[in-house]
Amino acid sequence: MAKRKFVENAFENEKCHLFIRPELCKGCLICIELCPVKALSLDKKKLIATADNMEKCIACGMCEIRCPDFAIYIEKKK
């Protein structure tokens, strides 16, 4: 499987890499509302999702699965 390469809005913790594509995110808040650990929030200036609390991310993938615009991608670390 080819790895996706996103430059902007890349976040990382010990469990995963999380990528948010700003050109696809419409700020619908679905990912933010579904995140069980509140790792995501809304960037109030850009009006897109951001991972301000990435250290809380458990790499469950709910944000990636539920994003209607495929703006979020998670790569779990091994």
Domains present along the chain, CATH in parentheses: 10-76 (3.30.70.20)
User: Tell me, what amino acid is at 42?
Assistant: L
Residue whose tokens read 């809380």: 56
**What is the pTM (predicted TM-score) of this model?**
0.84
Give the residue ranges of DSSP H helices in the chain: 30-34, 62-66
| Separation of alpha carbons 76 and 14, rounded Å | 9
- Residue 44 in tokens: 């109030």
- Asked whether 40 and 63 are in contact (CB, 8 A), the reply is yes
Average pLDDT, stretch 9-25? Answer: 95
Q: Give tens-digit pLDDT for 18-48.
A: 999 999 999 999 999 999 999 999 999 999 9
Neighbours of 41 (CB within 10 A): 15
